[in-house]
Amino acid sequence: MTIRLATSETQEAVREAGRASQGPYSGQSVPRVEDSRLIRGQGQYVDDFTTSNVAYAEIVRSPLPHARIRGVDTSAAAALPGVLGVFTGHDIVIELHALLPVIAAGVPNRRQTPPQYPIAIDEAVYEGEPVAVVVADTRYGAADAAELVAVDYEPLPAVHDLDAAIVEGSGVTHADAADNIGWDVALPGEGDVDAAFAGAAVTVTQRIVQQRVCAASIECRSVLADYRDRLTVWNSSQMPHFNRMYVAEGLGLPESKVRFISPDVGGAFGSKMGPYAEDYLIPIASKLVGRPVKWTETRSENLSSTSHGRGQVFDIEAAAAADGTLLAMKIKQLVDIGAYFGRTGANPIVSVQLSGGCYRWPIIEARSIGVLTNKMWTGPYRGAGRPEATHLVERVMDLLAHELHMDPVEIRRRNFITRFPHVNNFGFTYDSGGYHGALDRALDAIDYTGFRQRQADLRARGRFLGIGVGCYVEISGFGPSWQTAADDHEIGLTESAVVRMHPSGAVSVFAGTHSHGQGHATSFAQIAADALGVALADVDVVEGDTSNTPFGHGTYGSRSTPVGGMAVYTACQRIIEKGTAIAAHLLHTSIDDVSFKGGIFTDAATGERRSIKDVTLASYNRGLPDGIEQGMEATAFFDPPNFTWPFGTHICEVEVDTHTGVTKILRYVAVDDCGNIINPMLVEGQIHGGVLQGVAQALLEEVQYSEEDGQRLGGTFLDYLVPTINEMVPTEVYHTVTPTPTNSLGVKGVGEAGTIASSVAVINAICDALEPLGVRHVEMPASPQRLWHLIHDGMPAALR
Amino acid sequence: MLLVHFLRDQLGMTGTHIGCDTSQCGACTVWLDGDAVKSCTIFAVQADGHKVTTIEGLSTGQKLHPMQQAFHDEHALQCGYCTPGFIMSAASLLKRIPHPTDEDLLHGLEGNICRCTGYVNILKAVRRAAEIASNETRDDEAEK
Ligand code: FES
Ligand code: FES
């Protein structure tokens, strides 16, 4: 067996796009700067840090989804040698000055947001909720002591089924709440929906379920806190500044007295945004025992108590004319919030707001209901809202095509948005696009016409091949402050950088973002080296420490390059501006006569030149012109005017074994347009990883709960199926390049792109394969068992 | 005490990582007398009298082991957390099977989980390291 791995096409796409490069590095697959330490085992993740006298914490968690806590007996645990303290909710709450934040900027008219303490006090509302914190001399000592904490639980009925939870008079997630409704928001469409449906040639109705999944980064979460005259916290996080802001408030400390360090972070995919309960509990524990305290999540804890992704259900009705023209869509969305808002509110509405996909819809009418349940809260997971939206609309396109006996590609072509900027049904402005181009490229790469022939031939021989198309447009580059700071009390999602040129001419870039695999140490260095005309090796990128980087929101939402990268670029421009003034002084000429290119300031009149190194050294010298301070550094906060709107088409070819229900992916073509590309190699890596995560949601992954009592089932890597190398998808990566007009680098972000259309490309392919057997729709994960039942349950006995 | 905790907490050798509690992820892979083992599945005392090699001991001075070099060259790591375990498994695999088929590679590496790369570049890297190793053997043989 030889697996065909496509050769890289991304570098070629950059060349073809023929963009005037900003310098020698941008657009090149520069090898990663950060690898050197990581391949030697010299990376430093939170659990790798230690300090003298460090103690270890273990968290006692509720094993039940819902229970009253009648009492916690800590005496046996506290009596164990080496135990430094055992703290219950009552001990912790005394130290608290503020609760965990409710981050739900996107959700207007919230009905209730249950107050969230970092630890249960009298009622535990999800399985995995902290109930006590044990601190001991050693890791094993803490674990042993935690076993001895005796909690007296009175089990309460758990709310877990979304449909049941919104019925009046159903049980409640929080004992003192009236119902389980977190929000109920109507997003009315413009126009007469009912008339549109009445005049339609075809309509389809479908429920589409986005199951709960785990991000399952291979590094679990970890916190090391050292509470002295100031608080230092090492925290495996995507957003150290943001967490510092909230934890400082929670502990009643000035933000300036708290330092958060997120060192190397071993993956996150949205799940390490926080702040989490432990981000409060461990600093408080350190304060109470008077020693540094470290806590590291186990995988079992990670699967129960790190935010889950997706968890949304859509009831859809859609209508089209006989020629395939889309007429209207109605959506009812149920969002499984979990027991607390956490970060749930940050993304589910996006699923609705982008539900129109790449198409012109005269009307979309939607209603979104957030449902509180006795489960861990859901939060952003790679794509956060866009995979849900794309899955929804791309299933609908296939269902409509099926009703119309039309090729699924044809119905897409007939409805693509072709003019930009385009304001979508919910008021977002797609800045640029070229949807036909991406689709054509993908069809060509996978030989769509040839496939249909092969498919027909093989069907005749009893083999079931299918092809699935997923076209997407996504929202990236979070985000313009005018759209992201919902009111006067919230902060806009701008991003920051400090660029410092040292007297030697070497460059430090301090960024508010935080790489956790994306490779900023390389890509940001490429941006800075090109902008300043210095050697890449002279640039060092620093992220993740609130004591030396400017306030930033961190890395998520495919924002680092289009927002953070632009902050770096803007700071570099400010350096050049100052450098120009100093160069003019050195060259005895006026500023207007000095130009800058490739690291050289040139006097247009005389042709005399000064390098940026010389100018930088001079900037630290005496005799600068009036009004110019010493030094060469600049700070920039970049506030983008709009989001960016990457798009693309993914096509997947599968074969389903109807005897076993097993799906095999035969080919996978990804065409992504992320605008200009800084580092093709990094972009391809993001696509590879993203595609497999989407495919894994389609085929393997699901957090399961007992239908009977809402108890979570399983909870280790034995039963939660993250893909191994056996499930690898040999993705063929292609691009179209449409630079965004939203920023001067023309970059859009690519961190999530791979996940967005991949789950639906797989499911559409499976539906296509099984169409002759009467299968119209398949829910995720399309496990062998699920497919076998779909195939066999409805089949006449003679055919089984 | 588990070998992985002994390495990390007692010796301060933190290149070997922990990614699960059920021996699935392979982040903790080290060599025991030259063979890859998951250091979360054995006690430190069981390693008594044996030679343990971790990622820190794989390169010689500044010179990288060919598998480390191949992971870098093929962009086979993103967050880098699975990487030490992956490199130790893959390097050990090539010692056992110098000319692996793709089947050998999938079978030999299915005990290591990576959540970032989608495995595409990992497969490329291991193939490349195998190729380089077999070219080197051929050169050595030609010299003899
Ligand atoms: S930590 Fe050893 S296999 Fe996961
Ligand atoms: S590189 Fe992140 S888990 Fe493999």
A642's tokens: 């709009």
Q: In what order do the strands lie in the sheet with A647-657?
A: A464-473, A647-657, A662-673, A732-735
| Residue A4 placed within a domain | no
A530 and A566, same structural domain? Answer: yes
Point out the residue among A39, A219, A723 whose CB comes nearest to the CB of B87: A39
Predicted local distance difference test score (pLDDT) of residue A155: 98
Q: Helices (DSSP H) in A548-591: which residue ranges?
A: 566-586
Distance from C-alpha of A462 to C-alpha of A595, rounded to nearest angstrom: 70
A590's tokens: 């006026």
A277 and A243, same structural domain? Answer: yes
Among A246, A279, A296, where does a domain finish?
A296
A753 and A616, same structural domain? Answer: no
Point out the residue among B58, B75, B113 whose CB comes nearest to the CB of A724: B113
Distance from C-alpha of B18 to C-alpha of A411, rounded to nearest angstrom: 49
Determine the distance separating the centroid of ligand 1 and the alpha carbon of B17, expressed in angstroms.
8
| Residue A150 placed within a domain | yes
CATH class of the domain at B3-143: mainly alpha
Mean pLDDT, all residues of chain B: 95
Quick check: B37 pLDDT over 80? yes
DSSP, collapsed to helix, strand or coil, labels residue A569 as: helix
Q: Whose CA is nearest to atom 4 of ligand 2?
A: B114
Tell me the chain B residues in contact with residue A45 when contact means C-beta distances shorter than 8 Å. 14, 17, 81
Q: Which ligand is nearest to the CA of B7?
A: 1
A95's tokens: 């130290």
Determine the distance separating the centroid of ligand 1 and the alpha carbon of B113, expressed in angstroms.
9
DSSP, collapsed to helix, strand or coil, labels residue A417 as: coil
Instruction: Using a CB–CB cutoff of 8 Å, tell me whether A717 touches chain B.
Output: yes
pLDDT along chain A (800 residues), means of 10: 77 72 87 97 97 96 98 98 98 96 74 93 98 98 98 98 95 96 91 96 98 98 97 97 96 98 97 94 98 98 97 98 98 96 76 96 96 96 96 98 98 98 96 98 97 96 97 94 76 93 98 95 97 98 97 92 96 98 97 97 96 98 93 97 97 97 97 96 97 98 96 94 97 96 95 96 98 95 96 66
Determine the distance separating the centroid of ligand 2 and the alpha carbon of A266, expressed in angstroms.
7
| Residue A440 placed within a domain | yes
A521 and A470, same structural domain? Answer: no
Tell me the chain A residues in contact with residue B70 when contact means C-beta distances shorter than 8 Å. none
Instruction: Using a CB–CB cutoff of 8 Å, tell me whether B131 touches chain A.
Output: no
| Residue A410 placed within a domain | yes
Domain boundary assignment for chain B: 3-143
Q: Whose CA is nearest to atom 3 of ligand 2?
A: B114
Interface contact A728-B123, CB threshold 8 A: yes
Q: With the CA atoms of A214, B25, A234 and A32 taken in that order, what torsion angle do they form, in degrees rounded to the nearest 10?
A: -100
State residue A619 phi and psi, 5-degree precision. Answer: -65, -20
In SS3 terms, A127-180 reads as: CCCEEEEEEECCHHHHHHHHHCCEEEEEECCCCCCHHHHCCCCCCCCCCCCCCC
Predicted local distance difference test score (pLDDT) of residue A147: 98
Predicted local distance difference test score (pLDDT) of residue A18: 64
Mean pLDDT for the stretch of residues B83-105: 97
Predicted local distance difference test score (pLDDT) of residue A346: 62
A706's tokens: 């007992």
- Point out which residues pair with A213 in neighbouring strands: A309
Predicted local distance difference test score (pLDDT) of residue A486: 66
Point out the residue among B9, B14, B115 whose CB comes nearest to the CB of A218: B115
| Residue A605 placed within a domain | yes
Distance from C-alpha of A216 to C-alpha of A728, rounded to nearest angstrom: 17
Within a 13 Å sphere around the CA of A68, how many CA atoms are in the beta-carbon half? 6
A669: Cα separation from own chain's centroid: 22
Split at pLDDT 50, 70, 90, the class of B144 is low
| Residue A473 placed within a domain | yes
Instruction: Using a CB–CB cutoff of 8 Å, tell me whether B3 touches chain A.
Output: no
Within a 13 Å sphere around the CA of A761, how many CA atoms are in the beta-carbon half? 34
A782 and A675, same structural domain? Answer: yes
Among A296, A312, A341, where does a domain finish?
A296
Residue of chain A whose alpha carbon sits nearest to that of B72: A35
In chain A the first and final C-alpha atoms are separated, in Å, by 31
Instruction: Using a CB–CB cutoff of 8 Å, tell me whether A265 touches chain B.
Output: yes
Query: How many A-B residue pairs are in contact by the CB < 8 A criterion?
Result: 185
Distance from C-alpha of A246 to C-alpha of A100, rounded to nearest angstrom: 7
Q: Are A507 and A524 in contact (CB under 8 A)?
A: no
Tell me the chain B residues in contact with residue A731 when contact means C-beta distances shorter than 8 Å. 118, 120
Predicted local distance difference test score (pLDDT) of residue B142: 62
Q: For residue A60, give Cα distances in angstroms to A128, A137, A300, A340.
A: 8, 17, 13, 19
Q: Which ligand is nearest to the CA of A268?
A: 2
Domain count, chain A: 3
Q: Are B16 and B28 in contact (CB under 8 A)?
A: yes
- Point out which residues pair with A732 in neighbouring strands: A669
Q: Mutation test of the interface with chain A: which of B81, B88, B103, B121, choosing the one with the most A Cβ atoms within 10 A?
A: B81
Name the residue range of residue A528's domain: 495-638
For the packed helices A386-404 and A758-770, what is the interaxial angle rounded to 10 degrees? 30
Tell me the chain A residues in contact with residue B118 when contact means C-beta distances shorter than 8 Å. 688-693, 728-729, 731, 754
| Residue A751 placed within a domain | yes
Point out the residue among A2, A139, A267 whose CB comes nearest to the CB of B79: A267
Predicted local distance difference test score (pLDDT) of residue A784: 97
ipTM for the predicted complex? 0.97
Tell me the chain B residues in contact with residue A555 when contact means C-beta distances shorter than 8 Å. none
A405 and A503, same structural domain? Answer: no
Q: Helices (DSSP H) in A39-101: which residue ranges?
A: 75-79, 89-93
Determine the distance separating the centroid of ligand 2 and the alpha carbon of B117, expressed in angstroms.
6
- Point out which residues pair with A294 in neighbouring strands: A56, A224
Task: Give how far A584 is from chain B: nearest CA, Å.
Answer: 43
Window A:300-359, CB contacts with B under 8 Å: 300
DSSP, collapsed to helix, strand or coil, labels residue A683 as: helix
Instruction: Using a CB–CB cutoff of 8 Å, tell me whether B29 touches chain A.
Output: no
Interface contact A1-B75, CB threshold 8 A: no
Determine the distance separating the centroid of ligand 1 and the alpha carbon of A716, expressed in angstroms.
12
A124 and A54, same structural domain? Answer: yes
Task: Give how far A306 is from chain B: nearest CA, Å.
Answer: 14
A699 and A604, same structural domain? Answer: no
B63's tokens: 């010179």
Distance from C-alpha of B3 to C-alpha of B40, rounded to nearest angstrom: 6
Beta strands in A609-723 (DSSP E): 609-611, 633-638, 647-657, 662-673, 704-705, 712-713
Among B6, B14, B17, B38, name the best residue to mutate to test ligand 1's pocket (greatest count of ligand atoms within 8 A of Cβ).
B38
Predicted local distance difference test score (pLDDT) of residue A620: 97
Predicted local distance difference test score (pLDDT) of residue A104: 67
Phi-psi region of A296 (alpha: psi -120 to 50; beta: other; left: phi over 0): beta
Residue of chain A whose alpha carbon sits nearest to that of B61: A40
Mean pLDDT for the stretch of residues B76-102: 97
Q: Helices (DSSP H) in A372-417: which residue ranges?
A: 386-404, 408-415
Q: For residue A786, give Cα distances in angstroms to A60, A161, A188, A701, A790.
A: 36, 20, 36, 13, 6
A406 and A269, same structural domain? Answer: no
Distance from C-alpha of A499 to C-alpha of A574, rounded to nearest angstrom: 9
Tell me the chain A residues in contact with residue B102 when contact means C-beta distances shorter than 8 Å. 1-3
Window B:109-128, CB contacts with A under 8 Å: 109-124
Strand A293-296, strand A55-61: pairing: parallel
The residue among A670, A544, A555, A452 whose CA lies nearest residue A260 is A544
